[in-house]
Structures are given as C-alpha cells and as structure tokens.
C-alpha cells in the first residue's frame, strides 16, 4: 500500500527524502489552518485506533509498563488536538498591521506581518518517550501545526513502535488528502542518517530531545552548514529541588513519599527527574533523609529502556558514588536484575558539592543526590554553581517563602520552569508550559519543546509591504475573514483596520 | 562627573564591565515596565537636547550630510518612544495562564508563564548608522525595553558621536535613578574587546549589524562558549528587485528616477540597498536601462563613511565589473574624489549570473547589477539561486501581479520583507516591520532587528507552577493589575481568571 522506503526500512537516499519533503512543504504551507488542524486530529484518531497494538509493541521494545504507555499515548493524542485548537484560534501567528499614512513626511506605506512556516523540519525520536517525544510527538505536532513538512529520524530503541505510529500518520495523510511525503520516516543505525538529514540544504530546522553529546553535535552540524538553521535540542538537566525547614518540619513523611515516587518514576528516565535535593542541615533534615531512604528502599527495580541506558546509568551512578565525600543513604532493598535500574539515594555536603564539578552532572536514572548546606548563603552558592536547568523546585510553607525570597529570585534565573510545592516530573501540555531553559538544558532558552508556544521554533516572521488586499494571506486581509486577534496600529483588535479611526 | 572609564575611553577590564552589567541587570530586571518606559523616553529627550552637537560631530566622523543625520536622530528618538509605548501596552510578554483543575486525574496544577529578560546584552555599533543602529539604536533600545542591561561596543568609525550618545544615556540613568552601570560603553581598536565581551560568561545575548565576516565570527565565538547564547547578526543582503513588463511599460521614467535615488541613497551604504535588478529582456527594458543610466549619470559622488568602506567598495565593484559578461551601462558623470563612492550600474545576462557565484555577493555601496532574463523560467531560476535576503521587491501593475503569481510565491521564501511597488531602502520602525531574513541576511530568520518584535531577541519564557498569587509578578496575578491582554485557559482576555467560568 505504501512504498517500502517509507514503511520504516532504512533509507539511504537522504537527498531524495529531503527533496520530497521540500515539495510537500511547498504545497502544505499554503493550506488553511483549519485543514492543518483537521489533519492533526486525524493523526490523533488513527493513533487511537491502534492503541492496543502500540502499547504491546512499545512495551516489548522499551520495557515501559502498559499503564505508563497508555498514559503517554493519551498525552500524545491530546497534544495533537491542542495544536489543532491552537492554530484554529489563530492569534499565535502574531498578525500585525500598520496602515499607510499618506500625510506623513515621508509617506508611510502599508506594512503587515505574520509568522510563516520555515520549511522541512527534522525530528529526532527520543528513546525515553516512544510516543510523546517521538514520531507523532511534540516536535512533529508543532512543526505540522506551523505548516512545515517533517522528516522523522525514528529512534532505533523503538523502531517498530515508531513505524506503527508512522503508519497511523500515513493513514491520516490519505484521509485528509495531504501531500504523500508531508511526513517521512527514516530509520538507520548510528548517527549517519541523522547527520545527513540535519546537514541537508533543504532542512529548515531540527528538533531533538536526548543527551548533551547528541544535542551539541546537532548544533555543530548546523554551524558547519552553508546556511545556519535553528536547532532546538533539549539535553540535560538535574532539576534542583530546595526543601525549606518549615515544610520539612510540617510534613516530612508525605514529602518523602512524594519525592521517592518522583525520583523513581519511570525508573528516573525523565528529563525532569529531580537529580539534586538541597536543604539546610538540621535534625528535621536528618529525619527526612531517613524517611526518604526508607521510601526508596521500598521501590522495586524495573527494567530500563534499553541496555545502553542501563549500562550508562550504572556507570554514571557508580562514578558518582566513588566521588570523595559522597555517601549512600538509601537504595532499593532489592538488587536489580539484568537491565534493571538500582534506585539510589546519596548525600554530600555543600562544600564538597561546590568543589567538584562532577557532582553537578546528570545521572540519567533513579538517582538523586542530597546536598546538605550549612546555611542559607551556602544554599545560594550551590544554586549559583549550577548550569541552566529545565526546572527548579521549592518545597516550602508560606513562612518559608517569606523567609527565603532571595533563594526564589535566584531560582528564577536558573531554569525555564519554577515549581512551588510540586514535583518537576509531569510536564503539562498547555499554553503556559515551558519545557526549556538556559544552556545546557536546551540550546536556546527562548523556546520550549512542550506546550503551544513550541510551534514558534518552526516559523519566521514575513513582512508584506504595499500589498493589495487581495494578494495578502487571509490572516492579514482588511476584512479579517478568519476573525483572529491582530495588532492593528498598536492595538489588539479583531476589527477591520479600515473601520477604525 | 562620570568615571573616566565610562566616558568612552578604552576599557581593558572587560571582566569588570561584565560583572557591573550583571549587577545592574539584577536590579533593573525587576523594575516595572512603566519605569523602563520612562527611562527610554528620558534617553530620547537627552538625545534631543544635544541634537546639534550630535549632527556636527557625526557629520565630521561619518561624512553623512546633516539632513540625513537629523533624520536618523529623529528615527532613533521615535524608536525609543515606540518601545516605551510597546512595553507599556504589555501584551508583548505573552502572558499565559492555565488554571488548576483539581478534578482531573491527575490533578492539573496552576501554570502561568511570561517572557523575562535574559541578562546583559552586548550591542555592536554599526558604522553605517551612527544613531539608529548604534549606541542608543534599535538593539540597545529593544534590550533595555526587555529589561536587560547593555554593554555597547562603540564603532571606532564614529567613536566621538558614540561617546556623546552615551553621555545622553548617562544623564537619563541619573534622571531616572537607574543603576549606574545599566548601560556601559566600550571603545577599543580591532576586535579584541568585542570578542572578549561576546565570550564573557555573563553575556546573555549579542546584537550586531555589519559584515558577513563580523557576524559569522560572533556566531563562532558563541559556539566556542561554555554556554551557548543567542547571537543576532544582521549581515548581508543584495535585496533583489523584479521589474515586470507592464510596470516598466507604463512608467519607466518614474521608476528610473525612483530606483536611481534608492541605489545611491546615502551612497548605497544601507543593508537594504537594491543590489540586483531583475527583468525580462524587451525593448521596454532597454529603454528603462537607458533612463536608469541617465539618472545614475546625474548622481554626484559623495564621501563614504570612512576610508575602509570606500576602499572595500572600490575593490568589490571593480572585481564585479571584471567578471566575464558584466557590462557597465551607467555611472556618475563625475569622477569620484578621494573617499567618494562612484555610483555604478552594470548589466549581465541571467545565464551568466546563474553560472557565477561571485555575481551574487553584496557590493556595499552605490552599485547595482541588472540581470536580464530570457523568460519567466529563467527569472525564477535567478531568484531561486539567491541566498537569504532582508528584502525582495516587485514592481508591477495589477496585470503583472496576476500574471506572475509564482514569482511572488518564490520571493516570499527568500526574504524577511517583500515589497510591492516601493523601494527596499527605508525601514519603517513599527510593530509589523521585519528587518531580518534567512541566513546569510541574518543568523536567525525567526527574529527581526527593527520594529517592536525585535525585543523578542532578548527574552526567554519563564513558567511559574503552583505559585501563590502574591508571589507572582504583576503580569500574572489574578487581578491583572497592569490590565494587559493575556491568554487565559486558551482565550485572550483581560479578565481575572477567577471571574471566568
């Protein structure tokens, strides 16, 4: 039914793929938002149709439990629908109209602008999210919403799942009469295909979620290109959590349960996993550490996504524990079997933490390091010593929040998202979400890879000067046929500029 | 009155400057928008106070005539005031609020986001705009509007002018009780100071307008940093203009006047100077070329900005004329004296143009190359062979526009701004302006360096999850004390989210 090369087989002719993607883009970019929205919903429906098969396949490939996979599929479906709704609303294109002024010296021409899609986007599937950050995940959904074509480099750790999702996309392409090559799927071992895609002249953007080494390599490829293109890589974060004294005093037991769960959720295989916990030394903290250790003790080791990740976790965790001054304070009561992760909790003094860069590196898995500070100044030093993060969290009572305003101010500079009295794991897909942050959390702190704003990665503003009304896109026509919010002569309105004084 | 190091003397201690900039930022970033707005207006007022002295000094340093300099000062002042108005309106911060939903499984937390300033921004003065793209120009104004501190690397070609403008800024800093080091001014020969600034750990962004080599070097510096930061460099553009047959037939005389003026405006020292003119061969075109040549013939050579630019112009122009198949069709009747530019018009067939990459390079000065095409397909090939541009222009009647829709479609892919029946020179400062475009016009096509949106280069989104109302910034508080437009549960409104169903 579909040509073999697009069913998930290895494609060696990247050049052909990229040419086809460019052609599909030329057609797709001019389609009305409601057609793109219908297409996104159709992908969601096609995924729903094969949910059981997807869960079964992904479970086999990734070892993730069925409940988690089902949740992730629901999230992926909702995400596609969110983008459909978002582009239908229309204000996201930032339409602006400055009308002509013939009386001015010199006369002012009519100037209008809106966001337009950039071109074919290369999306790299992420090993830890076979659905939500892979073939029909956030990068693909936002790029298609923007009006871009997409070439997915499927992750080899869940190639079969990726191919199934791609089948669903292909059904949606047929359902909605979209260009055949609007979304393409490339599998291939190693980084050869990925590099060729990212360096191809037709590529207009790259979306990636994964390791620091992978993300940085993609940046370097872009820098070697004849024409620079945007690369958004979400890479590395240890997601510091600060526990204040009154919060610990009031509810150490429930905080221990909450954080043991967050640290070991999905065997710690989340970008937002809380990798370091920061608190002032006290008897209360000692109690909390005991309680947290007891909770970690109960967690049963589970299989990680694949052997490579398990191997890396064991290596990084072991290296961490071998550092001077690092002391194990808790671990799963059960020794892990092959491919299983060993949930682990350690502690270190702030002084040691500050003197050893190694301790600030991400350990991808169910490991967390408690950093014990002598005083508030040391706590601030610890926070200031950290690189850019996706999230930072504060566990506090009202009194704590009042006492430690400066710590909160500091944390705002550190990450893309700051959380009070919650856990960093669990990234809501909504307009206000930011899943981003200063380098090395991502390659560009001005963007997010989750939530409605993630569409902004794949568009550029285009200014139309002196255009006759009939040649303008609907978004910019005087009559505002799409009835969207626009900035007209510096005011937000849905009105026709000709009707305004 | 002010310490010497900030009066425009050479500053060698870049590290101190950047530390001071960081400290100033920590204070300034938390000031309310109306205070930042008042500061921008105060800078504008202080510049107005010394207008005569500025014109006199800049005229001496840049050879630009008084009328042009006066116009540029007015533009700079209006630009500062536009940003003041823009940040007071407030919707630019993209406030979004998704309220909590305790009923959902899992419960949805309260999530809010807005744009926050990135940190100290390094601004490089541009030689060709001593005011509008220099010390208090668009990059500085947009960065200050965003809430960032600024370190200006003044251009050595107009160091005295730059220092005077910096004095005006320092007066405004005193007037408005702003941090002393909110804006700092560094002069220095060569690229040493610039490189040190761009590579300093405290730098959070770089703004540059100038040569391709300069812009690309700044990108490379950023890539060598430990933490990547956004670099927006506006670099190189030849601004293609397509003349269609009916437009030429109807008004070749007036088009010739219009374009001779645009090509030689400010001796061609504009990023938007029309460097190539594209048309189909015809008798009408021959007539137009004669008329355009006659107009260029009348243009009197003027001094260029400085010796280096004049030298580069002569070299690049001569090299262009030495290419096979390039034929001079017009030039100023008057030979240029020392440091003066020689206005020059040449022509070439599309075939030759397509076969020689050299012909697609920017010649910074009053030079334009007419590319004569055999047919519409060749015209499209010429357009397709061009790299990313700041502008592209179409001179056409309604009939032409109707006949050549595909050429217009093509041009939309080429540049940040597309103009019908105007000239590319003259960049209006307004909400709808885009002064940007695909590489190598700029380093990032998603941004503009002119107009209200240019502020977006210096901000990043920050997400607040689970914050008590009183700890939220005013922009995100329930009561909406600033009365700004916000996206609340996916709808634009000024209402309190608690008042909505």
The model's pLDDT over A146-163, given as tens digits with 9 standing for 90+, comes to 999 999 999 999 999 999
With H, G, I as helix, E, B as strand and everything else as coil, classify residue A373: strand
The whole-angstrom separation of Cα A259 and Cα B307 is 66
The torsion defined by the Cα of B263, B267, B271 and B275, in degrees rounded to 10, comes to 30
d(CA A414, CA A437): 8
Contacts of B203 in chain A (CB under 8 A): none
A370 three-state secondary structure = strand
Task: Name residues whose C-beta falls within 8 Å of residue B107's C-beta, 6 or more positions apart in sequence.
Answer: B100, B101
Alpha-carbon distance A4 to B266, whole Å?
Answer: 59
Alpha-carbon distance B463 to B471, whole Å?
A: 13
pLDDT < 70 regions, chain A: 1-12, 189-190, 501
Contacts of residue B283, Cβ cutoff 8 Å, sequence gap at least 6: none
**CB contact set of A476 (below 8 Å; sequence gap of 6+):** A95, A97, A112, A113, A114, A464, A467, A486
B238-261 tens-digit pLDDT: 999 999 999 999 999 999 999 999
Q: Residue A335 burial (CB < 10 Å; 0-12/13-18/19+)? A: exposed
Q: Which of B436, B217, B438, B240 is nearest to A227 (CA)?
A: B438
Distance, in Å, from the CA atom of A483 to the CA atom of A198, rounded to the nearest integer, reads 37
Strand partners, B344: B331, B367
**How are strands ordered across the β-sheet holding A231-234?**
A183-186, A150-153, A121-124, A205-209, A231-234
d(CA B188, nearest CA chain A) in Å: 28
Which residue among A108, A401, A434 sits closest to B113, beta carbon to beta carbon? A434
pLDDT (0 to 100) of residue A497? 96
- 8-state DSSP, B32: -
On chain B, the residues whose CB falls within 8 A of the CB of A29 are none
- B72 noted as active-site residue: no
Q: Do A417 and B85 touch (CB under 8 A)?
A: no
Q: Which of B61, B72, B234, B362 is catalytic?
A: B234
Q: Which residues of chain B have pLDDT under 50?
A: 1-11
Q: Is B466 left (phi over 0), alpha (psi -120 to 50) or beta?
A: left
Q: Residues B141, B143, B148, B152: is their CA dihedral positive or negative?
A: negative
CB contact under 8 A, A106 and B471: no
- C-alpha distance from residue A83 to each of A33, A80, A416, B163 (Å): 11, 5, 21, 49
Residue A72, helix vs strand vs coil: helix
Q: Say which of B219, B271, B310, B373 is annotated catalytic.
A: B271
Neighbours of A102 (CB within 10 A): 7
Is the separation of the CB atoms in B173 and B143 below 8 Å?
no
Burial of B161 by CB count in 10 Å (0-12 exposed, 13-18 middle, 19+ buried)?
buried
Burial (CB count within 10 angstroms: exposed 0-12, middle 13-18, buried 19+), residue A243: buried
Percent of chain B with pLDDT over 90: 93
Q: Tell me which residue has tokens 């009916």.
A: B246
How far is residue B215's CA from residue A228's CA, in Å, rounded to a whole number?
12
| Nearest-by-Cβ selection for A492 from B85, B91, B444 | B91
Mutate to test the interface with A, among B446, B453, B491 (most CBs of A within 10 A): B446
- How close is the nearest chain A Cα to the Cα of B441, in Å? 10
Of B49, B458, B155, residue with least CA distance to A444: B458
Residues of B in contact with A453 (CB under 8 A): 94, 96, 113, 461
| Run of H or E residues at B378 | helix B376-384
Peptide bond connecting A438 to the previous residue in cis, omega within 30 degrees of 0: no
Q: Which of B317, B322, B268, B324 is nearest to B296 (CA)?
A: B268
3 state DSSP class of A99: coil
Nearest to B450 by CA among B132, B37, B150, B131: B132
Number of C-beta neighbours around residue A163 at 10 A: 18
The one catalytic residue in A46, A72, A148, A271 is A271
Total residues belonging to chain A? 501
Angle between helical axes of B66-89 and B51-62 (0-180°, round to 10): 120
CA distance A145 to A485: 18
Backbone angles phi, psi at B465, to 5 degrees: -110, 125
How long, in residues, is chain B?
Answer: 501
- Mark yes or no for CB contact A228/B468 under 8 Å: no
Interface probe for A, chosen from B431, B452, B491, B497 (most Cβ of A below 10 Å), is B431
Nearest by CB to B417, from A116, A436, A463: name it: A463
Residue of A nearest to B111 (CA): A432
Using alpha carbons, select from B120, B155, B117 the residue that is nearest to residue B135. Answer: B155
Which residue's entry shows tokens 């206005």? B343
A397 to chain B: closest CA residue: B468
Q: Name the residue of chain B whose CA is nearest to A119's CA.
A: B413
A118 within 8 A of A205, measured Cβ to Cβ? yes
Tokens of A226: 């004849």
Q: Using an 8 Å Cβ cutoff, are A248 and B408 in contact?
A: no
What are the distances in angstroms from CA B199 to CA A7, B192, B224, B301?
46, 11, 8, 40
Determine contact, residues A392/A239, Cβ cutoff 8 Å.
yes
Cβ distance A460 to B467 less than 8 Å, yes or no, reads no
Cα–Cα separations (whole angstroms), residue B38 to B157, B173, B175: 31, 10, 10
Give the pLDDT of residue B105. 83
How would you classify residue B179: left for phi > 0, otherwise alpha for psi between -120 and 50, otherwise beta? beta
Per residue in B324-347, is it b (16+ CB within 10 Å) or e — as a string?
Answer: eebeebbbbeeebeebbbbbbbbb
pTM value is 0.95
Residue B3's pLDDT is what? 34
User: Given B219, B457, B466, which is nearest A420 (Cβ)?
Assistant: B466
β-bridge mates for residue A464, sequence order: A112, B418
B310 is catalytic: no
How many Å apart are CA B427 and CA B449, to the nearest integer? 11
Q: How far apart are CA B125 and CA B132, in angstroms?
A: 9
What's the pLDDT at A188? Answer: 78
Q: In the numeric block, which tokens belong to residue A481?
A: 């046929």
Report how far residue B217's alpha carbon sits from residue B232's, in angstroms, rounded to the nearest whole number: 12
Rg (CA), chain B: 25
pLDDT at B5: 41
Rounded to whole angstroms, how far apart are CA atoms B469 and B140?
A: 33
**Considering only CA atoms, which of B493, B394, B390 is closest in space to residue B436?**
B390
Q: B347-392: per-residue pLDDT in tens?
A: 999 999 999 999 999 999 999 999 999 999 999 999 999 999 999 9
Q: Measured between CA atoms, how close is A97 to chain B, in angstroms?
A: 6
CA distances, A54 to each of A3, A137, A426, B129 (Å): 22, 14, 22, 59
Bridge partner list, A418 = A392, B464
Which residues have C-beta within 8 Å of that of residue B28, sequence separation ≥ 6? Answer: B36, B147, B148, B149, B178, B179, B182
- Say which of A61, A72, A234, A340 is annotated catalytic: A234
Residue B125 DSSP symbol: P
Distance from CA of B9 to the nearest CA of A (A): 32
Tell which phi-psi region holds residue B339, choosing left (phi > 0), alpha (psi between -120 and 50) or beta. Answer: left
């Amino acid at each position: 039914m579909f040509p073999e090369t697009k069913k998930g087989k290895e494609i060696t002719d990247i050049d052909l793929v990229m040419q086809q993607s460019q052609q599909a883009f030329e057609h797709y970019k001019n389609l009305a938002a409601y057609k793109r929205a219908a297409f996104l919903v159709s992908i969601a429906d096609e995924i729903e149709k094969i949910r059981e098969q997807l869960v079964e396949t992904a479970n086999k490939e990734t070892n993730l439990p069925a409940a988690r996979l089902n949740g992730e599929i629901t999230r992926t479906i909702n995400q596609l629908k969110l983008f459909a709704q978002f582009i239908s609303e229309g204000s996201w294109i930032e339409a602006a109209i400055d009308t002509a002024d013939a009386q001015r010296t010199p006369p002012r021409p009519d100037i209008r602008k809106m966001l337009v899609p950039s071109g074919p986007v290369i999306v790299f599937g992420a090993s830890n999210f076979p659905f939500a950050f892979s073939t029909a995940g956030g990068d693909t959904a936002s790029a298609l919403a923007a009006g871009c074509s997409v070439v997915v480099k499927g992750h080899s750790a869940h190639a079969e799942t990726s191919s199934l999702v791609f089948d669903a996309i292909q059904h949606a392409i047929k359902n909605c009469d979209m260009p055949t090559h609007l979304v393409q799927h490339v599998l291939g071992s190693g980084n050869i295909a990925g590099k060729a895609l990212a360096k191809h002249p037709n590529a207009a953007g790259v979306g990636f979620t994964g390791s620091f080494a992978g993300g940085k390599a993609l940046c370097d490829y872009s820098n070697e290109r004849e024409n620079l293109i945007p690369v958004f890589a979400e890479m590395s974060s240890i997601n510091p959590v600060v526990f204040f004294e009154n919060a610990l005093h009031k509810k150490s037991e429930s905080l221990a349960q909450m954080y043991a769960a967050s640290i070991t959720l999905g065997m710690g295989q989340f970008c937002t996993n809380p990798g370091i916990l920061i608190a002032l030394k006290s008897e209360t903290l000692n109690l909390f550490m005991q309680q947290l250790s007891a909770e970690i003790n109960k967690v049963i080791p589970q299989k990680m996504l694949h052997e490579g990740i398990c191997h890396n976790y064991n290596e990084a965790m072991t290296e961490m524990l071998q550092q001077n001054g690092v002391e194990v304070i808790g671990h799963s009561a059960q020794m892990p079997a092959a491919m299983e992760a060993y949930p682990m909790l350690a502690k270190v003094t702030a002084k040691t933490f500050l003197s050893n860069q190694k301790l600030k590196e991400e350990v991808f898995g169910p490991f967390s390091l408690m950093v014990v500070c002598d005083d508030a100044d040391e706590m601030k030093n610890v926070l200031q010593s950290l690189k850019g993060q996706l999230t930072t969290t504060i566990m506090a009572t009202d009194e704590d929040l009042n006492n430690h305003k400066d710590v909160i101010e500091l944390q705002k500079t550190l990450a893309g998202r700051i959380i009070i009295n919650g856990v960093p794991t669990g990234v809501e897909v909504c307009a206000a979400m930011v899943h981003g942050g200063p380098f090395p959390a991502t390659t560009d702190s001005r963007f997010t890879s989750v939530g409605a704003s993630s569409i902004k990665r794949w568009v550029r503003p285009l200014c139309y000067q002196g255009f006759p009304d009939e040649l303008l896109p609907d978004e910019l026509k005087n009559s505002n046929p799409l009835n969207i919010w626009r900035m007209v002569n510096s005011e937000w309105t849905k009105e026709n500029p000709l009707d305004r004084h």
